[in-house]
Amino acid sequence: METKLLNLSGQEVGKYQLPEFLFSRKPDPCFLHEAVKYYLANKRRGCASTKTRSEVSGGGRKPWKQKGTGRARAGSNRSPVWRKGGIVFGPRPHSHRESMPGTKRRSALLEALAAKHAGGAVLVMENLDIKEAKTKTLKEMYKTLGLAGKKTLFIMDKPVRNFIQAFRNIPGAGWSMVGNLNAYEVLHHDFLIFTVAGVGAMANYLDNAQMAADGQTQMSADKKTEGPR
């Protein structure tokens, strides 16, 4: 699985062999939708709140006497049926958090990467080392690659200070460490730009995570085989 290797000017300087297992999964739209919902739900703050009749200020006095006025009886002007009254069954602060096993999260990430690669939206650069934190340098690269106006995610193995400062003025540009990358971020951006070191770190990260998960599965199976002591 070969792709172009670019420099900071956006020009091709060679070819790069991508790890097969990172970009060869067959994407499942339903599964990716589930993963995106999971990440979006966990980003929600859940702080929407309304006041019930007991929490609204005022309403401590009976508006008028019970009988003799010809009007409907009322005990408080903060009743839910009154204007400016309390809210019945309104939203209250609560957690929207969902859970998803680590194995499924990693599978979703691999499928999202494969979907982007299939669409020609994965680029690889030698490095992101720029001498000065100047946005002008990156704008030239954007112009060469035709990325102007596109949401672009730079994926690296470690933060590059000058680069991060330089691209902050570019609308839609973002960056992520390999360990923080997830399916939602991959699908949310139009293009993914890896560094060579970032691709290697991503392969090692997912490979080690899978080995750890396999080890835990084997331990669980061994315990079930042994039975209670």
- Residue-wise pLDDT for 71-91, tens only, equals 999 999 999 999 999 999 999
Residue 183 is predicted with a pLDDT of 94
Closest by CA to 116, choosing from 194, 180, 172, 42, is: 194
Closest by CA to 177, choosing from 155, 194, 208, 161, is: 155
pLDDT in tens, 33-72: 999 999 999 999 999 999 999 999 998 899 999 999 999 9
Residue 208 above 90 pLDDT? no
Task: Beginning with the edge strand found earlier in the chain, give each strand of the sheet holding 152-156 in spatial order.
Answer: 12-17, 2-6, 122-125, 191-195, 152-156, 173-177
Q: Letter for the amino acid at 159? A: P
Residue 44 is predicted with a pLDDT of 92
Give the CATH number of domain 2-44+99-226; options: 3.40.1370.10, 3.40.350.10, 3.40.50.300, 1.20.1250.20. 3.40.1370.10
212 sits in the region (left: phi over 0; alpha: psi -120 to 50; else beta) called alpha
For 205-217, give one letter per residue: b (16+ CB within 10 A) or e: bbeebbeeeeeee
Residue 92 is predicted with a pLDDT of 94
Residue span(s) of the chain under CATH 3.40.1370.10 come to 2-44+99-226
Cα torsion through 10, 15, 19, 25, rounded to 10 = 70
Name the 3-class secondary structure at 216: helix
pLDDT in tens, 119-166: 989 999 988 888 888 888 888 888 888 888 889 999 998 888 888 888
Which carries the bigger pLDDT value, residue 154 or residue 2? 154
Across-strand partners of 154? 175, 193
pLDDT in tens, 154-200: 999 888 888 888 888 888 889 999 989 999 999 999 999 999 999 98
